Amino acid sequence: MKERLSIVMLAARSTVYKVILLMVVTAAVQTGLYYGWMVRHISPGATWLVSLEMGMSDSFIVLVAGVSFVILCVILCVTGLGPGAKSVYTLRRLAISEKEVLCCFALYNTLVFLLFWMSQILVVMGLCRMYEVLVPVLCEQNGVPISDRFLGPQTVYLAFYRDKYMHSLMPMAEISRWIRNLVLLLGLGICTTTFPNSLRYGKKGVALLVVMVATLGMFCGGVGLLESDLACMVVVLIAGISSAWIALGGVEDEAYI
């Protein structure tokens, strides 16, 4: 147990500060973009057609989240078990099988993606609160009338159903979307672990690319897209399971060498 904890700590030590920095920068950029969008659209010369969910798409915060997601995948791969990685030389000294090392790294990577997902939920909730607080102030300063349609007691609640990104982050009562998100986390955790390990053994590691494309292309979805959620889960499960099967079946169950 002590050796396995050491592996998780090793993985965390090589990536945790980079991951935290990435999440902080992402949150700051998204906040700045959303604030700038509100200032531009709530002005005397602007038509009052803004809404909370409109800002989520028009302010490019979804694009920022996508770019940060790709960077996160790169961070976990570069500092993982790839060729020349410092962690590989450290793991040689541990009396633990390579299969167990892969499982520990996969668990850690999955938790990192979970943390990134939670950070985006907090960012979006923060932007919702900023919208509720600043919209009345900006409207009063610029002499723009406030419409109950765009600022009311149910504004935030409805936005999580209307906006694809917000709903996919926190699907509310849509169970299939929650399950799909958990499958994505697991698939990403596995594939970011097996990808650098595959490179060490001269393989291509296509599974990670498949899962990343599926995440970027199918993550944002409206309410009731059960078929899309199922298709995404099938793709990710096939990629993740096949990648794990090849990785675990292609190494010797002996000390990490």
Q: What is the spatial distance between Cα 165 and Cα 171, in angstroms, rounded to a whole number?
A: 9
For 35-46, what is the mean pLDDT?
76
80-122 pLDDT tens trace: 554 445 555 455 555 566 677 787 888 889 999 999 999 999 9
- The more confident residue out of 93 and 205 is 205
What pLDDT, on a 0 to 100 scale, did the predictor assign at position 132? Answer: 84
The total number of residues written for the chain in this structure: 257
CA-closest candidate to residue 39, choices 147, 138, 149, 155: 138
Q: Is the pLDDT of residue 197 over 80?
A: no
Instruction: Please name every residue paired with 255 in a beta bridge, in sequence order, or none if there are none.
Output: 97
Confidence of residue 257 (pLDDT cuts 50, 70, 90): very low
User: Residue 181 pLDDT > 90, yes or no?
Assistant: yes
The most confident of 10-14, 67-71, 138-142, by mean pLDDT:
67-71
pLDDT of residue 73 exceeding 70 = yes
Q: Which residues contact 12 (CB under 8 A, 6 or more apart)?
A: 108
CB 244 within 8 A of CB 207: no
By the 8 A CB rule, do 178 and 168 touch?
A: no
Average pLDDT over residues 215-230: 88
pLDDT of residue 246: 74
Residues 6+ apart with CB under 8 A from 209: none
Give the range with max mean pLDDT: 39-48, 66-75, 144-153, 224-233: 66-75
Q: Is 252's pLDDT higher than 60? A: no
Mean pLDDT lowest among 32-41, 97-106, 187-196: 97-106
Tell me which amino acid residue 112 is: V
* Mean predicted lDDT score pLDDT of the chain: 80
pLDDT-wise least confident of 22-26, 112-116, 118-122, 253-257: 253-257
- Residue 254: which pLDDT band, with cuts at 50, 70 and 90? very low
Closest CA to 33 of 132, 149, 124, 155: 124
Q: How far apart are CA 251 and CA 257, in angstroms?
A: 10
pLDDT at 207: 87
Would you say 83 and 199 are in contact if contact means Cβ atoms under 8 Å apart? yes
